[in-house]
């Protein structure tokens, strides 16, 4: 412990680097240069298979990774016979497997268990107007499947690819999105969207709302990591929290309050799990986008969607710290990019949650 | 005497060649060359009207108007039609399968939905749909579209014909299984049927006597990997005559 000339111990803050102080680290730093990442636990090599999953925001990470020259791992590829735009339209390559958005950690746990044959649910198909939807990724197939048989065949192939993904990945980037979910009263199955919002049908005696607690999220996250390590002992993890606010809350709270609860729980759960486990990092996407230093500049006019500028900031930090990338921008995203094509890219980020709003506004 | 105007791409050639077998002289047949020039493909087939853009439709209508009233003209079209083969005639290293008509799929292959297959095939139908849609608004007596000939069951025959076009196709190249090609053809056929139904276009189906018990084109009607011969064309012309004779 350092002491002053009188032999008294110095206040610890007196010897801290200036970068530990808000004034220097935030207030006096240009917005675009803010970099809250410190001491990453590992680096991503060019050959490392990086898989992504999580809420809508994870799609941005997937998009940048796939354009960064690093090995963005897609275990469930669409056949090459189909043009790229069709594969993308059918959600191939949007994530590392065709699982759609995984908003809650419980969803991740059940996906893992289903993929490895450890869990089956009573509900595996929603029929709606003669089309068939996968309850666990209801918007994965445009307009649903043509038959139950087709849905189940696709589901089986999907889960096989999910299993392969977890067995073979080197780095798993998971974006925690929500604590609010709708659950089957019958067997506890968690759905990515409320049944009846967009597809399916809502029955109050069949489904119930659940807002996961810190203990539940932490336990689920630990279970997911333990499970993945059990099938892939060298896997490394990067946890992020989505900065995207809740589109709606099923609690009685104001959406601001509900969002703060949800994000706080997820943020602390991620921190707790990082501290408990080796080779698990927390990456501050949430802080970069929501930090007041940017005065809300990273949110679109709806104050919810993240602007491309914000995503770019996040991914610049990500690639700077986790890779040796020199070209930190997506190959197709030059500074000459027009507003039109940026909007197109943003529109391409598919958000199941928005189905809830659309359904409610009908 | 009403006129039958044959127009279209490579499949139109079998119709034109099939004209020599037509004995019924109740129709006057014409085969104008509209659009790009006719060409002969090294694999033996010919393609006329290789592109049918909107301006080509206008040229065709102008051409037909010179003869007689459009209402006494029956247009027999053969636009595109090879989409299912263009899409997946040669198997790549990621063969796929899909469910058609509730049949089982090969678990070893990558599964895709029928909707995705239809989306892939639709890229080959767009121009045909546009052309037929415009033609249906021109006051022509009738507009018909031929069903693409059923697929060829022989990978060996198809490979031989392909090598005429592409000598670099070595043993590594493999013609897609006849089972999958047949399913792709059936899928495309259902899309053509739907399209014709919606547009009010007559759909001239492959005659039963040209198809084997498994739904493939009988050998005596083979021309190359994707086309049928003039004998098949003549049978299709007979079918077309029957259909337009039954029109009100």
pLDDT digits (tens, 9 = 90+) for B116-168: 999 999 988 988 898 899 999 999 999 999 999 999 999 999 888 877 777 77
Residue B121 confidence (pLDDT): 94
User: Mean pLDDT in chain A?
Assistant: 89
pLDDT more than 70, % of chain A: 89
Residue B10 confidence (pLDDT): 82
Residue of chain A minimizing CA distance to B97: A79
- Give the number of residues written for chain B: 248
Contact state of B96 with A79 under an 8 Å Cβ cutoff: yes
Burial class (CB in 10 A: 0-12, 13-18, 19+), B171: exposed
Other beta carbons within 10 Å of A204:
8
* Residue-wise pLDDT tens digits, A29-68: 999 999 999 989 999 998 999 999 998 778 888 788 878 8
Give me the residue label for tokens 């006057």: B28
Burial class (CB in 10 A: 0-12, 13-18, 19+), A259: buried
Is A150 an 8 Å CB contact of chain B?
Answer: yes
Residue A181 confidence (pLDDT): 97
Q: For residues A221 and A99, give the distance between their C-alpha atoms in angstroms, rounded to a whole number.
A: 18
ipTM summary value = 0.85
Pairwise pLDDT comparison (A114 vs A5), residue with the higher score = A114
- Pairs across A and B, CB distance < 8 A: 61
Chain A residues with CB under 8 Å of B113 CB are: 90, 141, 145-146, 150, 154
* Residue-wise pLDDT tens digits, A251-296: 999 999 999 999 999 999 999 999 999 999 999 999 999 999 999 9
* Residue-wise pLDDT tens digits, A142-168: 899 999 999 999 999 999 999 999 999
Is B111 an 8 Å CB contact of chain A?
Answer: yes
H helices of A184-254, where? Answer: 214-231
Q: How many Cα atoms occupy the beta-carbon half-sphere of A155 within 13 Å?
A: 24
Residue B41 confidence (pLDDT): 52
Residues of chain B with pLDDT under 70: 35-54, 169-171, 248
Q: What is the pTM of this model?
A: 0.86
CA A151 vs CA A102, A109, A130, A134, B179: distances in Å: 19, 22, 13, 7, 21
Q: What angle do CA A291, A295, A297 make, to 5 degrees?
A: 95
Beta partners for residue A281, in sequence order = A238
Mean pLDDT of A203-211: 97
A residues 275-334 near B, CB within 8 Å? none
Closest CB from B94, B113, B114 relative to A80: B94
CB A247 within 8 A of CB A180: no
Residue A81 pLDDT > 90: no
Q: For residues A115 and A96, give the distance between their C-alpha atoms in angstroms, rounded to a whole number.
A: 14
Chain A residues with CB under 8 Å of B102 CB are: 147, 149
Residue of chain A minimizing CA distance to B114: A146
Chain A residues with CB under 8 Å of B92 CB are: 79-81
Q: What angle do CA A162, B116, B187 make, to 5 degrees?
A: 135
| Nearest alpha-carbon partner for A270 in A71, A54, A99 | A54
Mean pLDDT of A110-136: 96
Mean pLDDT of A99-109: 96
């Amino acid at each position: 412990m350092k002491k002053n000339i009188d032999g008294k111990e110095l206040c610890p803050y007196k010897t801290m680097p200036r970068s530990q102080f808000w004034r220097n680290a935030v207030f006096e730093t240009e917005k675009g240069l803010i970099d809250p990442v410190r001491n990453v636990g590992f680096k991503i090599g060019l050959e490392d298979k990086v898989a992504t999953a999580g809420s809508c925001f994870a799609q941005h990470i997937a998009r940048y990774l796939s354009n960064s020259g690093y090995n963005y791992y897609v275990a469930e590829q669409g056949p090459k016979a189909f043009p790229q735009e069709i594969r993308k339209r059918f959600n191939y390559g949007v994530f590392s497997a065709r699982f759609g958005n995984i908003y809650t950690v419980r969803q991740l746990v059940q996906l893992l268990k289903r993929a490895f044959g450890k869990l089956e649910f009573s509900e595996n198909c929603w029929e709606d107007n003669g089309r068939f939807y996968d309850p666990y990724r209801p918007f994965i197939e445009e307009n649903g499947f043509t038959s139950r048989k087709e849905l189940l065949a696709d589901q089986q192939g999907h889960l096989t690819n999910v299993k392969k993904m977890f067995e073979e990945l080197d780095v798993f980037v998971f974006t925690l999105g929500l604590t609010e979910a709708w659950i089957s009263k019958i067997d506890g199955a968690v759905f990515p969207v409320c049944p009846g919002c967009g597809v399916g049908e809502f029955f109050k005696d069949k489904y119930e709302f659940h807002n996961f607690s810190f203990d539940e999220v932490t336990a689920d996250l630990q279970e997911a990591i333990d499970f993945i390590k059990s099938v892939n002992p060298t896997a490394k993890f990067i946890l992020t929290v989505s900065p995207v606010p809740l589109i709606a809350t099923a609690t009685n709270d104001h959406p601001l309050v509900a969002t703060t609860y949800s994000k706080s729980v997820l943020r602390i759960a991620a921190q707790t799990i990082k501290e408990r486990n080796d080779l698990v990092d927390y990456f501050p996407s949430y802080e970069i986008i929501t930090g007041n230093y940017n005065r809300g500049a990273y949110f679109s006019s709806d104050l919810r969607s993240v602007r491309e500028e914000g995503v770019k900031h996040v991914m610049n930090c990500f690639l700077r710290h986790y890779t040796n990338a020199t070209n930190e921008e997506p190959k197709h995203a030059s500074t000459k990019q027009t507003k039109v094509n940026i909007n197109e890219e943003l529109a391409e980020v598919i958000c199941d949650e928005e189905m809830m709003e659309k359904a409610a506004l009908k | 005497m009403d006129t039958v105007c044959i127009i279209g791409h490579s499949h139109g050639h079998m119709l034109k060649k099939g004209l020599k077998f037509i004995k019924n002289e109740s129709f006057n047949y014409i085969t104008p060359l509209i659009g790009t020039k006719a060409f002969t493909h090294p694999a033996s087939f010919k393609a006329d009207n290789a592109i049918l853009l909107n301006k080509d439709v206008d040229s065709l209508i102008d051409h037909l108007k010179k003869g007689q009233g459009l209402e006494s003209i029956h247009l027999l079209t053969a636009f595109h039609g090879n989409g299912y083969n263009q899409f997946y005639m040669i198997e790549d290293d990621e063969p796929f399968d899909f469910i058609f008509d509730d049949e089982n799929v090969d678990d070893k292959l990558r599964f895709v939905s029928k909707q995705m297959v239809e989306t892939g095939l639709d890229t080959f139908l767009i121009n045909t749909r546009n052309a037929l849609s415009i033609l249906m608004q021109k006051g022509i007596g009738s507009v018909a579209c031929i069903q693409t000939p059923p697929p060829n069951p022989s990978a060996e025959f198809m490979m031989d014909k392909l090598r005429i076009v592409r000598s670099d196709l070595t043993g590594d190249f493999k013609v897609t299984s006849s089972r999958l090609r047949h399913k792709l053809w059936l899928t495309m056929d259902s899309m053509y049927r739907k399209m014709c139904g919606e547009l009010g276009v007559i759909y001239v189906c492959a005659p039963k006597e040209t198809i084997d018990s498994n739904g493939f084109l009988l050998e005596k009607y083979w021309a190359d990997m994707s086309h049928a011969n003039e004998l098949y064309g003549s049978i299709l012309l007979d079918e077309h005559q029957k259909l337009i004779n039954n029109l009100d």
